[in-house]
Amino acid sequence: MSAALDLKPTVLMPWRKPLGLGVLLVAAALLLLLVGLAAGSEGFSLAWADEGELVWQIRAPRSLGALAAGALLGLAGALAQGLFRNPLADPYLLGSASGAGLGVVMVLAGGGVAGFGGLGGASLGLAAVSGLMRLGLVGAAFAGALAGVGLTLLLAGGAARPVRLLLCGVVVGVLMGAASDLLLMLSPEALRGRQAFLLGSTGFLGWDSVGLLVGALVAVLPLALRFARVLDALVLGEASAASLGLQLPRVRLLLVVVMALATGAAVSQAGLVAFVGLAAPHLVRRWVVVTHGALLSLSAAAGGVLLLAADLLARSVIAPQELPVGVLTALLGGVYLLVLLRRQSAPA
């Protein structure tokens, strides 16, 4: 009888239905954006008339950028988990993270370290980097992320075999990580810059970053939703999906490209923010049972809320100093997954 009750949709609360969850996430995003406008290094303040420049030139783009970057990571995570039919898949598994890290190290070791030497210090950091240097790092991270995924596809001979694709992604990650370490041995002064990139940061997102992130989200979300039914078909298995007339190798390749674009855009602006792409689809599936059409949109919304909430915590936990947002997402995401695994492994 308990099983029957579990399956009855009438027992679900409104916020446990897809539309209700979507409304809840939108409301949470708006509330967090409002809090983000008020959150400063000295606490919370609603005196926006006195802090107009600070609010609209620093807090507003930072909050909106965190929301958009988290949405891209949440979307990419949902795509990865649907594409590989693996709930532990995340946006970085095809070499995008190691490729982005290598791109950043190449720029830092190639002459940009002088203006970047204080990155991660108390008084210097990305704020001291010139616009040209910032653009170079962003471009290198984005190009490196795409190059990592491209090399993975090349070694795997395309996206026809998911297991081979995953293994090649692991190999590419190791190779690019080794190349990055080698460059750091030759230019150790680039270590602090690379470490700051690996920890992730939303503290230096400006209106240009917001434009790029929102543009990327507007571009990739419709493409992802277009292939939502393909992901639904893959749930039934390879043979069943192929029997429906789907060209799986071609569709997988397109989905990998969409995932790489979303991941590369987020990583290039905010660094390697951990666990958002992995946890956002998990949280959505924990509360609602939906097809991939709704799952992709809800995961994007959940990812944005998660990263924005982590950004607010990073600003306020040890104010007036800040924590790298990637550290918080890694800690909170790791604890969440450990609790989830413990509950699933507990005897009934």
Report the share of the chain in percent with pLDDT over 70.
Answer: 80
Confidence band (pLDDT; 50, 70, 90) for 126? very low
Better-predicted residue by pLDDT, 189 or 81? 81
Quote the percentage of the chain above a pLDDT of 90. 31
Residue 225 lies in a domain: yes
Q: Is residue 242 part of a domain?
A: yes
Residue 128 above 80 pLDDT?
Answer: no
Lowest average pLDDT, out of 42-51, 146-155, 287-296, 338-347, goes to 42-51
Q: Would residue 256 count as lying in a domain?
A: yes
Residue 106, pLDDT > 80, answer: yes
Mean pLDDT score of the chain: 80
Q: What is the pTM of this model?
A: 0.84
Q: Give the pLDDT band of residue 303 (cuts 50, 70, 90).
A: very high
Residue 42 lies in a domain: no
* 114 in any annotated domain: yes
User: What is the span of the domain harbouring residue 275?
Assistant: 53-79+90-338
pLDDT beyond 90 at 11: no
In a domain, 20, yes or no: no
Q: Report pLDDT for 297.
A: 94
- Decide if 36 is inside a domain: no
Q: What is the pLDDT of residue 219?
A: 94
At residue 13, the pLDDT reads: 52
Mean pLDDT of 276-301: 90
Q: Mean pLDDT over residues 57-85, rounded?
A: 92
The 3-class SS string of the chain reads CHHHHHHCHHHCCHHHCHHHHHHHHHHHHHHHHHHHHHEECCEECCCCCCCHHHHHHHHHHHHHHHHHHHHHHHHHHHHHHHHHCCCCCCCCCCCHHHHHHHHHHHHHHHHHCCCCCCCCCCCCCHHHCCHHHHHHHHHHHHHHHHHHHHHHHHHHCCCCCHHHHHHHHHHHHHHHHHHHHHHHHHCHHHHHHHHHHHHCCCCCCCHHHHHHHHHHHHHHHHHHHHCHHHHHHHHCCHHHHHHCCCCHHHHHHHHHHHHHHHHHHHHHHHCCCCCHHHHHHHHHHHHCCCCHHHHHHHHHHHHHHHHHHHHHHHHHCCCCCCCCHHHHHHHHHHHHHHHHHHHHHCCC
Q: What is the CATH number of the domain that holds 103?
A: 1.10.3470.10
Say whether pLDDT at 78 is over 90: yes
pLDDT tens, position by position, 15-51 = 568 888 899 999 999 999 998 888 766 656 665 555 6
Of 340 and 230, which is predicted with more confidence?
Answer: 230
Counted domains in the chain:
1
Is residue 33 domain-resident? no
